[in-house]
């Protein structure tokens, strides 16, 4: 039995779920897939639209449940659910076109390209944004005709299970790492989609590789935010930059985790940043109106984050209520760290961000790229063309301009990392195509009635 506590009030049990047999879930999904994949694409889309409406009808109660099990502010949880449903509906709108077959019948012959589902897709999701990160996998996979087995994190199993239960063709498995390994290694599983940390990603990739099972891996990031010498930020811009680091208490893979600021403008930047944090950051119980930052997810996370923060940290924001009741870690800005400090080199995944000063843009770009990770980054400049030019030099799968984190996302923009931040893409048309295989039927013109033929030893003509 998995028992989930409220990280803001650790004596409060939010809910319990029973651990599940992974093999039985995969077999049920495989059996259901025969009927689901045989449905007309329009019928599958209609079923998914009905599911979206069913979840929408319960969005209020699900947001409260999500806030209690994750410690995310209630407004954020409402936003996550709304965005997850927006993505599901985007998939419904675009899947028929993107996944439709293509037929060419011309002087070169007759060529039919079909997009076919894989079969059973295993989705393994983390606790920090459990509903949207599940929907990024479930929606395109189901629209394409796959069935899914989802294993949510034991730290946030409740709300996402309720959402998954409203979708057709989905089985939910509860358990820890052993359950995940059993799913990935199951012979009936045809694809694995995972979001999470680098260490778990390596284990999943190894297990999937042993089965020759393809994967989509969205792993961690140590994302730099590079402010060019000409940056010109309003008070609202600074607030957005603050929240880019401290939304979900900094527990976001694409959060701004390293701030690079011109040395000549360090004093101006720091004063404006601290003032913006005072306005926008209110730490407290996630169900308290006005709170914008809750606790971190666990005692272990709180201990790890505190160990990264030196005594030179600058406190940020305000607080309300009894922070001793949960796993609260106050947000801080940390100046004057060397590039080899753990808070700079590691993905902190918490409410502490280093302020790093530079003298030239070339230097800043080189230091920003000095990481094995390459998920996201941002460039801030008064000149958008200059920002795009610098962005092209950053080693990241997604570069924001004059924003960072969720305010810069788009349903049409594919998201994923380079280097050791994973492979594959979510969102956009690329996110849909991850869940289909192209199959081909081809009648070359040379061998159609009246065609000229081709010698048995010949190569095809261009």
Q: Which amino acids are annotated catalytic?
A: 218, 253
Nearest to 143 by CA among 54, 45, 38: 45
Written as one string, the DSSP assignment of 444-456 is EGGGSTT-----T
Q: Using CA atoms, how far apart are residues 164 and 186, in angstroms rounded to an integer? A: 21
Half-sphere exposure of 203 (CA within 13 A, CB side): 13
Task: Give the relative orientation of helices 158-165 and 130-143 as an angle to the nearest 10 degrees.
Answer: 20
Q: Using CA atoms, how far apart are residues 12 and 386, in angstroms rounded to an integer? A: 51
Instruction: Read off φ and ψ for residue 394, nearest 5 degrees.
Output: -90, 140
**In the block, residue with structure tokens 């995940």:** 180
Answer yes or no: are the C-beta atoms of 113 and 444 closer than 8 Å: no
Q: Using CA atoms, how far apart are residues 235 and 269, in angstroms rounded to an integer? A: 11
**Sign of dihedral through CA atoms 151, 157, 158, 159?**
negative
């Amino acid at each position: 039995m998995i028992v989930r506590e409220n990280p803001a009030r650790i004596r409060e049990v939010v809910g319990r779920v029973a651990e599940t047999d992974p093999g039985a879930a995969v077999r049920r999904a495989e059996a259901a897939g025969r009927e689901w994949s045989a449905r007309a694409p329009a019928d599958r889309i209609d079923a998914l639209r009905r599911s979206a409406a069913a979840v929408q009808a319960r969005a209020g109660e699900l947001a409260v449940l999500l806030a209690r099990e994750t410690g995310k502010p209630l407004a954020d949880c409402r936003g996550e659910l709304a965005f997850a449903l927006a993505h599901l509906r985007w998939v419904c709108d675009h899947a028929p076109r993107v996944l439709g077959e293509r037929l060419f019948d011309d002087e070169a012959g007759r060529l039919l390209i079909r997009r076919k589902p894989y079969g059973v897709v295993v989705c393994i999701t983390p606790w920090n944004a459990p509903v949207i990160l599940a929907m990024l996998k479930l929606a395109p996979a189901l629209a394409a005709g796959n069935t899914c087995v989802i294993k949510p994190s034991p730290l946030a199993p409740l709300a996402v299970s309720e959402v998954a239960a409203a979708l057709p063709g989905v089985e939910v498995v509860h358990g820890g790492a052993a359950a995940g390994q059993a799913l990935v290694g199951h012979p009936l599983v045809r694809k694995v989609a995972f979001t999470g940390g680098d260490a778990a990603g390596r284990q999943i990739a190894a297990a999937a590789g042993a089965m020759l099972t393809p994967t989509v891996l969205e792993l961690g990031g140590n994302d730099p935010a590079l402010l060019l010498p000409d940056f010109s930020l309003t008070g609202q811009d600074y607030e957005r930059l603050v929240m880019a680091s401290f939304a979900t208490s900094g527990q976001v893979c694409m959060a701004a985790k390293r701030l690079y600021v011109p040395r000549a403008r360090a004093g101006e930047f720091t004063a404006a940043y601290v003032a913006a944090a005072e306005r926008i950051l209110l730490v407290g119980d996630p169900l308290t109106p006005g709170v914008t930052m809750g606790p971190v997810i666990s005692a272990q996370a709180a201990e790890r984050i505190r160990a990264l923060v030196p005594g030179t940290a600058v406190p940020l924001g305000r607080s309300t209520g009894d922070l001793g009741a949960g796993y609260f870690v106050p947000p801080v800005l940390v100046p004057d760290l060397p590039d080899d400090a753990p808070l700079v080199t590691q993905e902190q995944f918490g409410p502490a961000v280093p302020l790093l000063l530079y003298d030239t843009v070339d230097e800043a770009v080189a230091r920003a790229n000095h990481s094995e990770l390459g998920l996201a980054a941002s460039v801030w400049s008064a000149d958008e063309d200059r920002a795009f030019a610098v962005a092209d030099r950053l080693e990241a799968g997604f570069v924001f301009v004059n924003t960072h984190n969720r305010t810069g996302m788009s349903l049409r923009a594919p998201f994923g990392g380079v280097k050791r931040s994973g492979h594959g893409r979510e969102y956009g048309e690329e996110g849909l195509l991850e869940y289909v295989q192209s199959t081909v039927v081809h009648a070359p013109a040379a061998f159609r009635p009246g065609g000229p033929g081709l010698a048995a030893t010949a190569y095809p003509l261009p």
